[in-house]
Amino acid sequence: MTAFDDLMAFQRDTEALGQVAMRLSWDQETVMPRGAAQQRADEIGAIESVLHSRRTDPRIGQWLAAIDEHGLGTVGRTQLRHVRRSYSRATRLPDMLAAEIARVTSRAQGIWAEARASDDVAHFLPTLREVIRLKREEAAALADGGDPYDALLDDYEPGATAEGIAAIFDRMRPRLVALRERIMGAGRPVPGLTGRFPAEGQMSIAREVATHFGYDWRHGRLDHSVHPFTSGSGADVRITTRIDEAHPLGCLYSTLHEVGHGTYEQGVDPAYLLTPLGNGVSMGVHESQSRIYENQFGRGRAFCLWLFGRMQEVFGTAGAADADAFYAAVNRVHSGYIRTESDEVHYNLHIMLRFDLERELIAGRLEAEDLEEAWNERFQADFGVPVDKPSNGVLQDVHWSAGLFGYFPTYALGNVYAGCLHVALRADLPDLDADLARGHAEPATAWLREHVHRHGGLYEPAEIIERACGVAPDEGPLLDYLDAKFGALYRL
Amino acid sequence: MTAFDDLMAFQRDTEALGQVAMRLSWDQETVMPRGAAQQRADEIGAIESVLHSRRTDPRIGQWLAAIDEHGLGTVGRTQLRHVRRSYSRATRLPDMLAAEIARVTSRAQGIWAEARASDDVAHFLPTLREVIRLKREEAAALADGGDPYDALLDDYEPGATAEGIAAIFDRMRPRLVALRERIMGAGRPVPGLTGRFPAEGQMSIAREVATHFGYDWRHGRLDHSVHPFTSGSGADVRITTRIDEAHPLGCLYSTLHEVGHGTYEQGVDPAYLLTPLGNGVSMGVHESQSRIYENQFGRGRAFCLWLFGRMQEVFGTAGAADADAFYAAVNRVHSGYIRTESDEVHYNLHIMLRFDLERELIAGRLEAEDLEEAWNERFQADFGVPVDKPSNGVLQDVHWSAGLFGYFPTYALGNVYAGCLHVALRADLPDLDADLARGHAEPATAWLREHVHRHGGLYEPAEIIERACGVAPDEGPLLDYLDAKFGALYRL
């Protein structure tokens, strides 16, 4: 055994234990008896502690020092790059600080939930202040002299910088605000769907669509959870969805979203399984897959017309007068407060607001006390309406209480990547709408597997998009797509 | 932190990781996608490797040496006794031997399954020889000069000896053989149930009975699996059952059996959670709980009469002409070959056969080559019929291929313990039949929780039965119960 083999064998067990931790979380959200929460926290704590020890194990440093990279091919060198990045991050963060962040954010989520339920920002403020203080400290430790926000971002989108993202967002924002204003000013309000849609019928369509979009049931399953998610890599990638009998689109589009994440993980080259390359490469690229399935495929006209017919067959009604009304309802642009319920036009505005605010927070140019006011001002400017209550504003997301600073921009980056991939994919698959018009998208999944999924962590995020599309990713294709789609829908 | 506190904190994480390993096995048998088996083996291997390292961690030896037992109460000293026993066993077994046993038995189970499917003993012989050689080596290492078979037995039934068990079994065997012969000679064959019993109805009765026998759904759930089992301790104890629409008793009595195991784990004092005392104390005591629920309660006349009525309500028929015929069918004594399908009279004869043979194997007085002949001779002697094929004989059980020598006797020991507990419990609960006659057994569960469950690992197996019953466990009560029950049923 060479040092490289030793390192990869060690890493393999670490990756396997990481999968185990994901199985526990899946179990917790889907099938766990409700009285088991406290014990489960202990179980997850024990495995996280094992993972932390392994990720900071000094033997990793010794192996890395002993390996002669010249003997390795591209894949081997990329494996090493991943291990080196992860080891360097893990060892830069003092154990005491990591433990304190874990403790404080675990407590913070309960306090945030209380504050949101009672619309009481003051109740959350002392905790938020503490979380921000710790995350600034973490960012400084990780940055090692570089930009602190970039150091946090690097955990979710390796290689990206806040400056690069800000340049994209700064170009997107005026066009999105303008599109939003034109739509809202067009005076063509679109009604939502009406009726009740029994859960079994929703799940039956969700399963059918997952199958026809290329989700592999031999290596996955679909369950219910309060918040939909995808869990696991390689040969066991499970997705969940939610059910509301009055709002059938939630189940279906959550499923499509998770099918995007799930087919990505299922499609990684099996040779990378349980190695640092064996997962989707970043949150942004992951989100590009979930969003292209959900939006560009699932909310496109061709698929919506099929779905209208299928819902009529299953439920006796699709909840709209005709197929055009149904397509409009699926793509209804509405001035809501809540990010997770927002449409394709508003979604990125939500993200940009959070990105700008959290950058200021980490940089120390904004304090927790002033966050609500900053949020409300920005919301009024971009969305054209005032925030009515904190639970519809600064208290709506779990991320900051969980310490997830640097995560938000990857959502919009995913949309930008999806815009680029969609253009490239349509050029290669001119007949895709014919598939979508019968509820299928296997050719698109095959294209994405070939150009994105199978590579796992082999290329950096921006590199993988550039290789797939032939040009470096930028916001143009996404904005053109939105202008065209909503221009036609709202006859602008 | 004292050395004791350090040890218990370390142990707590080990226990939590042990629970995690059980969650993985539960997942594998109930909900795992079928294409995930190979990856799951890697995941389980990774966590077992972590557990092995922790169980042999030299710090345990240092803590044990540093602890002053005089400062501890009974509970603390018992915790130490458990840790010492487990550490001593784990460190006596050379790592290389442990790894080889894991490797060989893992492979052996596939070969055994092939051999059983093709009734080909010779196909399994070389592997069986290898397993026996390794288990003899393990037994010698663990025994440290003592009796090798006892050393293996100690893993399943701490404190028990083969000599003590043999003394009980030697007294049981002639009475059981005699009872069997009288029943078979009575010439009163009992027909089985007829009809089809839809799965939903079986599961609905299974859930109802589990509830009314005291199983706690806040800390458990019931699913399907090929082989029923109970998984987990403390706040998350799950049970499974099997379904066969032609044979409804399998689902129901498997559920009752697992409810016995499950209420035991659920009933352990929460103060012991994630400590060495936080589980059922031994396989024998565990089996006493599953068997008393399944047999003494579930196959008793009072409960069977209720079940007859309930099945009539749910299925329109209980599959028998009247309640008496139903009770007889549930308790039908039949001369079958297969242990897992055998009745209360034959079951212990199956166990004794295996116990005597495996003792001889480990002692080196019997070799793999001669095992089939020894099995067939003994079977003819005790069961009165010749074995017709190896899959109905020496190849029927998974245990030996899995290296589980010393496990079999705990099944019969469980029946002996159940016999003792049943007498003591009936003396305290003279009206239990009135509860069972309406499908309930909560008072019995409360009695068992008080006298057995809550103690977890606080007392040694024989001690816990003696404390509960007021006398040391022996086979008398079980045999008296069987004579009385089957004497009446077969009018002997």
The tokens of B176 are what? 């059981």
Could you tell me which residues are beta bridge partners of residue A222? A239
> What is the C-alpha separation between B313 and A250, in angstroms, rounded?
40
The reply to whether residue B20 touches residue A46, judged by beta carbons under 8 angstroms, is yes
- Percentage of chain A beyond pLDDT 70 is 100
> What is the C-alpha separation between A312 and B116, in angstroms, rounded?
52
State the best of B30, B38, B39 to mutate against chain A, taking most chain A CBs within 10 Å. Answer: B39
The reply to whether residue B17 touches residue A220, judged by beta carbons under 8 angstroms, is no
- Answer whether residue B452 shows pLDDT above 90: yes
pTM for this entry: 0.94
The pLDDT tens digits of the residues spanning A311-360 come to 999 999 999 999 999 999 999 999 899 999 999 999 999 999 999 999 99
The tokens of A337 are what? 């407060």
| Chain B neighbors of A59, CB-CB under 8 A | none
The reply to whether residue B33 touches residue A217, judged by beta carbons under 8 angstroms, is yes
The DSSP output letter for B393 is T
Of all residues in chain A, the one with the smallest CA distance to B238 is: A33
How far, CA to CA in Å, does B298 sit from each of B213, B259, B477?
Answer: 10, 11, 18
> Residue B71 has what pLDDT?
87
Identity of the residue numbered A303: F
H/E stretch holding A278: none
> Residue A144 has what pLDDT?
87
Average pLDDT, chain B: 96
**A187–chain B Cβ distance below 8 A for any pair:** no
The reply to whether residue B221 touches residue A33, judged by beta carbons under 8 angstroms, is yes
Q: What is the pLDDT confidence band of residue B358, given thresholds at 50, 70 and 90?
A: very high
State the best of B23, B40, B207 to mutate against chain A, taking most chain A CBs within 10 Å. Answer: B23
H/E stretch holding A231: strand A230-231
Please give the average per-residue pLDDT across A405-425, as a whole number. Answer: 98
Q: Which of B457, B458, B425 is nearest to B442 (CA)?
A: B425
How far, CA to CA in Å, does B391 sit from each of A454, B137, B341, B368, B457?
Answer: 45, 28, 14, 16, 37
In angstroms, how far is CA A119 from the centroid of its own chain? 26
The reply to whether residue A42 touches residue B238, judged by beta carbons under 8 angstroms, is no
**B47–chain A Cβ distance below 8 A for any pair:** yes
Please give the average per-residue pLDDT across B390-405, as a whole number. Answer: 96
State the best of B20, B27, B30, B59 to mutate against chain A, taking most chain A CBs within 10 Å. Answer: B20
The reply to whether residue B219 touches residue A19, judged by beta carbons under 8 angstroms, is no
Please give the average per-residue pLDDT across B287-304, as a whole number. Answer: 98
**A273–chain B Cβ distance below 8 A for any pair:** yes
Q: Given strand B238-241, what is the order of strands in its sheet?
A: B222-224, B238-241, B230-231
Helices B408-428 and B476-489, interaxial angle, to 10°?
A: 80
| Chain A neighbors of B42, CB-CB under 8 A | 12, 16, 274
> What is the C-alpha separation between A436 and A23, in angstroms, rounded?
33
- Answer whether residue B19 shows pLDDT above 90: yes
Sequence-separated (6 or more) residues with CB below 8 Å from residue B19: A39, A43, B232, B233, B234, B236, B274
**B189–chain A Cβ distance below 8 A for any pair:** no
Of all residues in chain A, the one with the smallest CA distance to B34 is: A218
| ∠ Cα A138 A143 A149 (to 5°) | 75
How far, CA to CA in Å, does A413 sit from each of A255, A402, A458, B153, B410?
Answer: 21, 21, 19, 60, 60
The reply to whether residue B31 touches residue A235, judged by beta carbons under 8 angstroms, is no
Sequence-separated (6 or more) residues with CB below 8 Å from residue A145: none
- Percentage of chain B beyond pLDDT 70 is 100
Residues 204-223 of B with CB under 8 A from A: 216-221
- Answer whether residue B335 shows pLDDT above 90: no
The reply to whether residue A19 touches residue B43, judged by beta carbons under 8 angstroms, is yes
The pLDDT tens digits of the residues spanning B400-419 come to 999 999 999 999 999 999 99
Q: Give the minimum alpha-carbon distance from B106 to chain A in angstroms, rounded to a whole number.
A: 19
How far, CA to CA in Å, does B27 sit from each of A241, B32, B199, B422?
Answer: 19, 6, 21, 34
**B271–chain A Cβ distance below 8 A for any pair:** no
**B167–chain A Cβ distance below 8 A for any pair:** no
Tell me how many residue pairs between chain A and chain B have CB atoms under 8 A apart.
112
The pLDDT tens digits of the residues spanning A103-148 come to 999 899 999 999 999 999 999 999 999 999 999 999 999 998 999 9
Q: Give the minimum alpha-carbon distance from A184 to chain B in angstroms, rounded to a whole number.
A: 46
**A38–chain B Cβ distance below 8 A for any pair:** yes
Minimal Cβ distance to A31: which of B17, B31, B49: B31
The reply to whether residue A33 touches residue B217, judged by beta carbons under 8 angstroms, is yes
Minimal Cβ distance to A39: which of B14, B43, B236: B236
Q: Give the minimum alpha-carbon distance from A410 to chain B in angstroms, rounded to a whole number.
A: 29
**From A15, A138, A258, A265, the catalytic residue:** A258
DSSP assignments along B424-466, one per residue:
HHHHH-TTHHHHHTTT--HHHHHHHHHHTGGGTTSS-HHHHHH
Q: Which of A468, A79, A453 is nearest to A277 (CA)?
A: A79
> What is the C-alpha separation between A59 and A447, in angstroms, rounded?
40
Please give the average per-residue pLDDT across B163-187, as a whole number. Answer: 96
ipTM surpassing 0.90? yes
CA A254, A257, A261, A264 dihedral sign is: positive
The reply to whether residue B218 touches residue A33, judged by beta carbons under 8 angstroms, is yes
> Residue B339 has what pLDDT?
95
Sequence-separated (6 or more) residues with CB below 8 Å from residue B406: B149, B152, B153, B154, B155, B156, B157, B358
> A406 with A355: CB under 8 angstroms?
no
What number of other Cβ atoms are within 10 A of residue B111's Cβ?
16
Q: What is the pLDDT confidence band of residue A1, given thresholds at 50, 70 and 90?
A: confident
The DSSP output letter for B185 is H
In angstroms, how far is CA A226 from the centroid of its own chain? 16
Sequence-separated (6 or more) residues with CB below 8 Å from residue B151: B139, B140, B142, B143, B144
> Residue A352 has what pLDDT?
97
- Answer whether residue B1 shows pLDDT above 80: no
**B55–chain A Cβ distance below 8 A for any pair:** no
The reply to whether residue A19 touches residue B39, judged by beta carbons under 8 angstroms, is yes
> What is the C-alpha separation between B255 and B6, in angstroms, rounded?
40
> A387 with A375: CB under 8 angstroms?
yes
Q: Which of B13, B2, B53, B462 is nearest to B274 (CA)?
A: B13
Tokens 């490239």 identify what position? A424
Sequence-separated (6 or more) residues with CB below 8 Å from residue B420: B465, B468, B469, B471, B473, B474, B477, B478
Interior/surface letters A15-52, b for 16+ CB within 10 angstroms, e for the rest:
bbbbbbbbbbebbbbbbbbebbeebbebbbebbeebbb
Q: Give the minimum alpha-carbon distance from B38 to chain A in angstroms, rounded to a whole number.
A: 8
